[in-house]
Chain A
Amino acid sequence: MKTDDKYVDRHYHFKGKWDVPGLCGLKIVRKAGQTVVIATNLYDENPGTSISRWSAQLADSVCRDFDIPPGELLFIERNPDIHSRLAFYQETFDIVSFDRVDGRFANPVWKRISHEEVDELTGK
């Protein structure tokens, strides 16, 4: 995944499930009172855990590494279109909401949104 992708500004290394190193794309858009983070699954380029399986821990580490107050985070998971013939590899966006348990994100719940809604949220 190239970083000139509209929704990927940088690659982010994280420690995934069972400490296996993982890699995802990130776009961070800071607005007054809210920071939108788009995390992109990199599929074959990611040697470790998929971001769907690790979203709460990933949200924790992104907040820590980029000084984002947890209460201001709007976390969006993106699965990019990999131009497969298979429909389940088309582009999707989900807002992931979490509970806060012992100061950490937990219990992710996904809500599908359109890329137009994402663009609206990021002001693009």
Chain B
Amino acid sequence: MKIKLIYPGWPKLKNQTEFNLPPHGPVVFAAALPAGVEIEFTDENMQSVNFDDTADLVCISMMLTSQVKRGWEIADNFRARGQKVLFGGISTMLHAEETLQHANSVFMGEAEGHMEEVLADLQKGRLKKLYNFMGKQPGTQLIGPARRDLLERDLYYHKGVQMVDLFHASRGCKFNCYPCAVSFLGGRNFRARPFERIAEELDTIDNNRLFVVDNTLAQDKEWTKELFRTMIPFRKKWCSHTIHDDPDVLDLAAQAGAWYVYQAVFDTSDYIKERVKRYHDHGIGVEGTILLGMDNQTEDDIKRLLDFLGEINLDLAEFTVLTPFPETKSYDDMLKEGRIFDHDWNHYTADTVVFKPRHMSPERLQELYHYAWDSFYATESQEQKMFKLMMKVVEKEMEDGTYRKPRKDLMETSFGKTLDR
């Protein structure tokens, strides 16, 4: 059986330096397919989709809301050629009703332990319109090492430097944050993978730098400490979302190779200032993630927040505007109050205002969003700051002997394209 697995492209944030990471969802899904299935993978951010190709099943894996319209186009094209199309992934779950109109089948939930049933139905000519496994999460011991062998690895290099590989050690989230849909998608229970399975997967990753994409590393202190103890022997360097604010945990994180974290900066409190300092005290860099347009933010609040960023020595900052993604409380609130004026999912990139903010016009919030990027990077560009952060990891790697020189054969390329010098 042949499966054509496609990851639709999406528009990148206009202000952000372009970089492309190897996709995670599709290769995790591929690991859930039975042995012997032939899989051909296309990441449309890097490669063209070959619509003339045939397969027993076209699987479209979607992560972002801004991918769904392109995913539907791809499906419509394949289905017009008589191909069967199955959708899955995070944004499929967020947009399932609409996606059903473009699919032979939609898979809801996590794939592990269920794909044998789906493929058996396909072979019998009885593919169901909907496979609904929402709320029936599989045991995390079933999550196998992601099929990174399906990736065309040379595409994920910039000037000879390999991009981080994505990796996850847990699913679900006990928190239920205002702009986030994770609790809908992965359940409200923290579900850890067994440490032996984590080690097994780490051992397969031919990359000394990772992005640990767990929703947060602040859900279970003892588990997080054990995770870091598991990671230490692999000597990877990695970035992640928030880490538990505890000196023992941060010590272990540093030993396990913590490079930098994405830390939400949501106010100008001493708590945030000290939080950032504690990461830095452990040699861990901080990329602030700053969400603009919350209901408690006036224009002055946003300007004060931007001034504050200059005081807390962030290594990098990424600004987004609040975006009411389906299945979040922000979506519920905005919908109830009739404040969403743009329902074009292509605009749900978190750099475009699609709702009426509480304390300013949409246009003013859009201006402040651009002003935020410009002001933070006014004296030192994003590339310069990224270079500094890169040097920090290079120093660490030099010290412990894990540094890999950039690949000479890819020095003149960036994400598969020849550099225009």
Q: Once the chains bind, are A86 and B332 in contact (CB under 8 Å)? A: no
Are A53 and B332 interface neighbours, CB within 8 A? yes
CB nearest to A53 among chain B residues: B332
- Residues 68 to 122 of chain A near chain B (Cβ within 8 Å): 85-89, 94, 110, 112
Interface residues on B, range: 20 to 34
A-B contact pairs, 5 of them (CB 8 A): A18-B108, A48-B135, A87-B295, A87-B296, A112-B337
How many CB-defined contacts (below 8 Å) exist between A and B? 48
B185–chain A nearest beta-carbon distance, Å: 11
Q: Which residue of chain B is the closest to A111 with respect to CB atoms?
A: B336
Report A12 CB to chain B, min CB distance, Å: 18
Contact with B along A38-51 (1 / 0, CB 8 A): 00000110011110
Q: Is the CB of B332 within 8 A of A50?
A: yes
Interface check A19, CB cutoff 8 A: yes
**With known contacts A52-B335, A86-B178, A110-B337, A47–B296 Cβ distance under 8 A:** no
Chain A residues positioned under 8 Å from B267 (CB to CB): 85
Which residues in window 255-303 of B have CB below 8 A to A? 267, 294-296
| A103 CA / B96 CA spacing, docked (Å) | 25
Cβ contacts under 8 Å, A20 to chain B: 134-135
Does A21 contact B335, Cβ atoms closer than 8 Å?
no
Q: In the complex, what distance in Å separates the CA atom of A43 from the CA atom of B332?
A: 13
Interface residues of B (CB under 8 A from A): 96, 108, 132, 134-135, 174, 176, 178, 184, 187-188, 267, 294-296, 327, 329-330, 332-333, 335-337
Q: Is the CB of A21 within 8 A of B332?
A: no
- Interface SS of chain B: loop
Complex: how many Å from CA A21 to CA B330? 22
CA distance A112 to B188 in the complex (A): 28
Identify B135's interface contact among A43, A47, A88, CB under 8 A.
A47
A19 to B178, CA, bound (A): 23
Residue of B96, B176, B184, B296 touching A88 (CB-CB under 8 A): B296
The CA of A58 and the CA of B178, in the complex, are separated in Å by: 22
Q: Would you give the shortest CB distance from B359 to chain A, in whole angstroms?
A: 11
Picked from B134, B188, B295, B336, the residue with its CB within 8 Å of the CB of A52 is B336
Closest to A84 in B: B178
Could you say which residues of chain A place their CB within 8 Å of the CB of B174? 44
A47 proximity list for chain B (CB < 8 A): 135, 187-188
**Which residue, of A20, A85, A89, has the highest number of chain B Cβ atoms within 10 A?**
A20
Q: How far is the CB of B202 from chain A (nearest CB, A)?
A: 31
Task: State how many angstroms separate the Cβ of A36 from the closest Cβ of chain B.
Answer: 19
